[in-house]
Every structure is written in structure tokens, then in C-alpha cells.
A and B are shown apart, each in its own frame.
Chain A
Amino acid sequence: DQQVKQNSPSLSVQEGRISILNCDYTNSMFDYFLWYKKYPAEGPTFLISISSIKDKNEDGRFTVFLNKSAKHLSLHIVPSQPGDSAVYFCAASASGADGLTFGKGTHLIIQP
């Protein structure tokens, strides 16, 4: 039973446009959410996070939105750059307990 779902295995976006990656979760106990970026043969790199007491967090070109009632979060990247091409993982945790629960990832491809 997947508690964190990323329903789009891949997404193609033109350079300079906005990339929107989506994530849904089912566990109401999750209260902290993170996005990681991963290149092949490397470990996941932390991008941005959001606590359940907020609905938006921004860091440079990256913004994460959280809709608790819909159990949905999204990562916006604007403007998209070629170096953003990678696999993006959504992850969640419940009050710091246990490890992170990850989605299966979305492969973002930025086209020139």
C-alpha cells in the first residue's frame, strides 16, 4: 500500500517555463514533507521541505505548496533550467518517527 504517490512517472517541460510536480499522500499522521532531486548513480539531494502547519514554502526558484485537506503537495520550479533534469522524489514523515516514506519519483526532462 503506497502511502506517498507520484502519479506521473515523467514530465517534459520547455526551458524557461514552469515545472509542476505533484504528490499525493494517504497517511493523515504525516506532518513534514520534503522534495529530493536525484541524478543517476548519486544519492538524493535535499531541495525543499514544508511543515504541515504551513501551506507554502519558497526557496529561490523552488516553491512547495501543501493542501492538507486534499492530502496533496506540489513542487513548482520557475524558471526551469536544463540542470533541473533529474528524478524528483516526494517524501513524508510523521513527527520525526521512523524514516521517510518516499514516492516512486517523477523524471523531469527540461527541453531546450
Chain B
Amino acid sequence: DSGVTQTPKHLITATGQRVTLRCSPRSGDLSVYWYQQSLDQGLQFLIQYYNGEERAKGNILERFSAQQFPDLHSELNLSSLELGDSALYFCASSESDETQYFGPGTRLLVL
């Protein structure tokens, strides 16, 4: 158990819809990262937040957004969903900029 929690575990929705994924980092970790794992692309970095502020952006689509709240939990919002957005979404947290600890992931299926 990494100490990072994610909800929900599974999510099934339809194209065009919007969903919110939630992540609680390990106690004391200020950084939260979001990753997408799809079959063809592997694990891809989406976005990082540090103590409530956006710190780095990776391959995140404009239809996706994230935020980190004062209690340090984070949410990833995915809108106008397409079939290709079906993937595993992982959250990770870290105390420093080095080792990241991953949550169990949310499996999103867009039908």
C-alpha cells in the first residue's frame, strides 16, 4: 500500500460526458502528479501540482483539467469524452521532486 488513494476504482460513461477522478496523496506529500496509461501509449505524464499550484504540464489535452485543493487532494476533470480516452488514470505523490508513489488507479471506459 503506497498511501496514495484514488476514487473511483472503475468508471463507465458515454462519449461526450464529463467525469471527475479524485486522488488523495500520501500524508505530508505536497506534489501530486497525474498519468494516463493506455494500451498503445504506455504511461504518460499529464500534469503536476505542488501545494495547490500547477507546476508542470505534460501531454494533457485541452479537454482535461486538474486542480489541487487546500487539503492537498487533487481532482482530474475529463470532459467531452471520446472513445480514445478509455485508459487507466494514475495519481502519484511525492515529498520531493524525485521518487513518486503511485495510487491504484482509476479504470475509465468510454462507450
A interface vs B, CB < 8 Å?
32, 34, 36, 41-46, 49, 89, 91, 93, 95-105
Q: Are B56 and A98 in contact (CB under 8 A)?
A: yes
Of residues A42, A44, A49, A105, which shows the largest number of chain B Cβ atoms within 10 Å of its Cβ?
Answer: A44
* Interface assignment of B98: CB less than 8 Å from any CB of chain A: yes
Cα–Cα, bound, A46→B6 (Å): 17
- Residues on B lying within 8 angstroms of A by beta carbon are 2, 4, 6, 33, 35, 42-48, 56-58, 90, 92, 96-105, 107
A102 to B43, CA, bound (A): 6
Contact, CB under 8 Å: B99 / A49: yes
Q: Which 9 A-B pairs have the closest CB atoms?
A: A96-B97, A99-B45, A43-B102, A102-B43, A98-B56, A44-B102, A104-B42, A43-B104, A99-B33
Name B's interface SS: strand
Pair A97/B56 contact, Cβ less than 8 Å: yes
What is the CB-to-nearest-CB distance from B89 to chain A, in angstroms, rounded to a whole number?
Answer: 10
Q: How far is the CB of A54 from chain B (nearest CB, A)?
A: 13
Q: Which residue of A lies closest to B98 (CB)?
A: A32
CA distance A100 to B92 in the complex (A): 10
Check if A43 sits within 8 Å of B4, measured CB to CB: yes
Q: Tell whether, in the assembled complex, residue B45 and residue A44 are in contact, meaning their CB atoms are under 8 Å apart.
A: no
The reply to whether B99 and A36 form a contact with Cβ atoms under 8 Å apart is: no
Once A44-B90, A45-B2, A105-B42 are accepted as A-B contacts, the answer to whether A96 and B98 lie under 8 Å apart by CB is yes
Instruction: List 27 A-B residue pairs with CB atoms under 8 Å apart, sorted by A's residue number.
Output: A34-B99, A34-B100, A36-B102, A42-B105, A43-B92, A43-B103, A43-B104, A43-B105, A44-B43, A44-B90, A44-B102, A46-B2, A46-B99, A46-B100, A46-B102, A89-B43, A91-B43, A96-B98, A97-B56, A98-B57, A99-B35, A99-B56, A100-B45, A101-B45, A103-B42, A104-B42, A105-B42
